[in-house]
Amino acid sequence: MAKRKTANRPARSKSQAQRRAAADPDPYVIVDFVFDQGALFIAIENIGTRPAFGVRVEFSHKLMGVGGSVEVSALPLFSALEFLPGGKKITTFLDASESFFRSKQPTQITARISYKDAGDVKLTQTIRHHLEIYRDIGYTTLPQ
């Protein structure tokens, strides 16, 4: 049997929806711990370009901050954030690193983040942090 010749067809182009989705990815929400000049912060950020809705963060451990006076992990930021635009970052103070490590809180923290996209599809991320890496970082304080 002879082989059938096939016409050289151009490759199919992506649909407009596929191109738009590739250029404008879904929301992608992360939680990060930030060390800056001896201070620890918790940041929640949508590193995607589309908004996230109903953002909730559950931490594996209670996080006490501000010298042990505030349960930072219980802030409404982590339990009642209804809208987080793409590219937006919200940061809250956790504690001075010296105070945090002196309080002997857990340093291995897992953050479970859940949220929905504009189509009401539920998305989740789990991020593990090891805060011990910040214990021995040197920093200077400038005179006021």
pLDDT number for residue 69: 92
pLDDT number for residue 68: 87
Q: Residue 49 has what DSSP assignment? A: S
- What are the beta bridge partners of residue 64? 71
**How many residues does this entry show for the chain?**
144
Q: Which of 34, 14, 10, 36 is nearest to 23 (CA)?
A: 14
User: Residues with Cβ < 8 Å from 89, sequence gap 6 or more?
Assistant: 43, 44, 45, 46
- Residues 43, 90 contacting (CB under 8 angstroms): yes
CA distance between the termini of the chain: 89
The CA distances from residue 112 to 32, 68, 78, 89, 116, in Å, are: 12, 23, 10, 17, 14
pLDDT number for residue 134: 95
**Whole-angstrom Cα distance, residue 61 to residue 108?**
9
Q: Please give the domain boundaries of the chain with CATH numbers for all domains.
A: 26-134 (2.60.40)
Block means of pLDDT (10 residues each) for the chain, length 144 residues? 40 54 76 96 97 98 94 97 98 96 95 97 97 91 69
pLDDT number for residue 117: 96
pLDDT number for residue 24: 60
**Whole-angstrom Cα distance, residue 27 to residue 117?**
6
